[in-house]
Structure 1
C-alpha cells in the first residue's frame, strides 16, 4: 500500500468511527450497513477512484437508502431476492448536494506528501460528512420524505408498506400507472400495478401486454417502416417482453407497415392523448418511438422530423 493509499485508509477508519456507534455493522472492508426489512436499510460504501496513483488518490463515500418495502418490491420485479446495495438502481441515492449542499462534499483527495495537519483536516471533514449522511439517511427512511426522490414503483411500495393512509399514495400510483401505459418497462410491473390498484380500490385500467427492448430500428428511417426493416434482416436484437413472462422476437405481422405508420402519425397529430391515467389505449400508442423517427428523405440521409416536440406528450 502506497502512502497515498495509507492516507485514504486513515480517512476510511475515521468514517467507520462515526458509523459504528450509530449501529452500522461492517458488511465488508469498504461497506457498512444498517437496518432490516421492517425499518428499511441504509448502505454506505467507500469507493476508491480507478485513476488513483501512488502520489495522488481519491475516494468517495457513497450511500443508498432503501425504505421499508422497496427491497421486496425490487426483488419481485427482478424475480430474485435482491439484497440492499449502495450502487445504481437503489431507491434513494446519496449525493454531496443532497446531503450537505455541496457536490464535492462526498469526495476526499489525498497526496503522498500532504502534511499531518492536512490529513487531520480531511479526516475531520469526512467525519462531519458521515454524520450529516446518517442524519439525512434517517430522514429518507421515512417514505413520506423520500417519495419525491424515488423512481418507478419504489415510492408506491414504500408508502404502501409503512404509510398506507398517506394522501400522496394514490396520486403516486396514478402517476406510475400513467407512465407505464406509455412506456411499459419493465413489463413485470404490469401485474404489480394491477394488484396495487385493486388493493387501493382504484379503477381498473388497460395496461400494455408487452414491451419492446433494444427496439430502436437500426436503419434510422432509411427504410419506410419497422416491418420492412425486420424483413430486411435489420434490428435482430429486438425482443418483445410479455406480461406473462414470455419473451420472443417480433414477427413481421406484429409491426406496422407504411400505411399503418402514416395513419398513426396523422391520428397522433389530430388527437394527442391527455396526461394522466388512460381509460383507453390507442392502437398506435406502443409505436410512439417509431412514430418519432425521421422520415426517409430523397437523398442518402433522412430528413429530420419537423414535429418531434408534439410527439413527446407521453413523457411529461
Structure 2
C-alpha cells in the first residue's frame, strides 16, 4: 500500500487519525469516458472513441472493484476488443505490481502507470485502470463508470453482445438508488469496518453493513434480482462483495455478526449469480485470500492465510421459484 505525491511514490498506509478512526475512500481521479464516437461523456474530456484493440484494462483478481469490470468484459464478449493485464496478488510497499512488465504500458507497478499518464499525479494507485494505447493515458480508474462504458460504448463493434443491457433506461432511477445504499454500506462498508482504527468507527460501520444485508435479504425474498426482475449492474456490483464475504470479510475485516451462508435468500442468490455462464471463471479465491490476508499487515500482522471456509457455490439454488421480468 502507498500513494503518489506529485509523482513520487510514498509507502503510506491509510490515514484514519484525521477522521476519528474511520476509513474514508478517496474519489477516483481519472473520470473520462469511452463513447461510441469519442464525444465527451458525463465527466472528463472527449476524444476516447470506442475502437477494437485501442483500450487495455489492468486489474487485480482480488479486488472487488476490478472484478465487476472483468465480469462485464466477459458477459459483453469484449475479450477480443479490450486486452487485460493482471497484477500480482500481494499489494505491499510498491502497491500493485506486475510479475513481468506490463506488455502495453511497460510498467512494473500500477503507480508507474499513473505517473506515465500524469507525471505529477497525487493519490492512490488503484485498480481497475482503463488505459488508452493511442493517447497513452488513463481513461478512467472509476470501476462503476468503466462498467457502464463496457455495457454500451462498444455495441457497434463486431462480436459484442448487444442484447445485454445491465443499465436499461427504464430502470436507471431504481438501479441508482439501490447502488447508492449498497456502495456506501456494503461494498465500501466492509472496508469501513476492516480498516477502522477505533471501536466506535468499527461498530458504526458493521451495524450499517448488517442493516443493509438484512434489507437485501428481505428484498430478495420477494424478487429474484435487485431491480426489475432481471439481472442489472446492481446485481454484479453486489455480487463481487458477496462472493468475498465469507472467505475474507467475516474473519479478516471482523464482519462476523452473520455469514452470507446464514442468509437463505442472499446465499441462494449468490450461487445463482456465480453459476451464471462465464462468471465463475472470473473468481479466483486463492488470489482473493492471499491478497487480503497477506497484504494488510496492520490488520493481519502474521500474514497467515486461513485454509477455510469450504465453499459450495456450485450447489443448486432456489431462485427459479421467483419470476423473471416479462
Higher strand share: 1
Give the TM-score normalised by the residue count of structure 2. Answer: 0.26
Give the TM-score normalised by the residue count of structure 1. Answer: 0.27
Q: Name the larger-Rg structure.
A: 1
